[in-house]
Structure 1
Amino acid sequence: MDPQVRIEALTPADLQELLADHARYWGDRDLRPLHLAALIHEFPSTCLLARTEEGIGGYIIGFVAPSGVGYVHLIAIRDDMRGTGLGRSLYRAFARAAQRDGARTLKAITSVGNTGSIEFHRKLGFTANVVDDYNGPGRPMVVFARELGTEPFPIAAPGPRTGRGAAAG
């Protein structure tokens, strides 16, 4: 990770900034309703952002369920920061925080057509399975899962720049 990038807690003020600049992270998909302030208030250790000299480069919003699953609700990287390894760094920070909070497994979901997210998660060592009716009748989703080990996401060379934000859609 670039030494000019700091991983820190996502605040409600940061969330408002992200929502105002939503298209830089998600393109033409309007996922603003999925950005729940309650998650940031209730799970501050697992809602993180990557701050660069140019502002917020990316963010991850998630929590640890009582079952020991660290669930990533959203992860997104600003359009000019994709392919830099920032998503991997955010996932690594989330995994460490989730382990401290009792997680043994990580999970996330995305739509069946979000090939960029599927590729990204597979590169991070997640399994990817299509689950029919996951989001309701006729609404399949790809469910990602990964066991947490001692080193959640070894550092690797950044990949090619791909589409929009990764999880949740």
Structure 2
Amino acid sequence: MALARLTLDLRKTSKRSDNSYPIVLYVYHKKQRFITLGFSSTIKGWDEKNARLKKSASYNQNKDHDAIEEEINDKLHLAKKKIKNFGRDINKINADQLVEAIKNSWDSQIDTIERHQIKNNITLVESGNVIINRKRKMNSPSTAEWYSSCINRFLKFCKKDDIRLVF
């Protein structure tokens, strides 16, 4: 059975120069693993019982508590959901594979323009060639040539070899 919870990583090697510790997702599945969440707090600024930042702590005064709480709790929820979705098959994987699955579930939830650009990964020339080839197969060579010349003129105007399309 796997376990996931929020905690501070209090190991000596993880202590930061400002005497804070990283907030981590503690994952236990045959072995313990820590996933750093990108936030930190001091021991006095962390409520271990409730697994949340103390708003009254001096170290946490200038932080956006609500945004941090929302992000770390979303990640905790996704991790627990991933563990639950594995069901009995969780025994077939090791701790490192579980951590990787949890991280991948976090990544799939993030939806940014950059992610779409990488995900779509299609260029004007590639897309244009698909249309041009279809026109040639439909026995419309003049339309295909017109599309080809338009793409070439546009790329020449932009002074680029190719342009990545965003959908």
Give 1 or 2 for the bigger CA radius of gyration. Answer: 2
The structure that is strand-richer by fraction is 1
Shorter-chain TM-score above 0.5: no
Which TM class, normalised by the smaller chain length? under 0.3
Give the structure with the higher percent helix.
2
Q: Which has the higher contact order (CA 8 A, sep 6+)?
A: 1
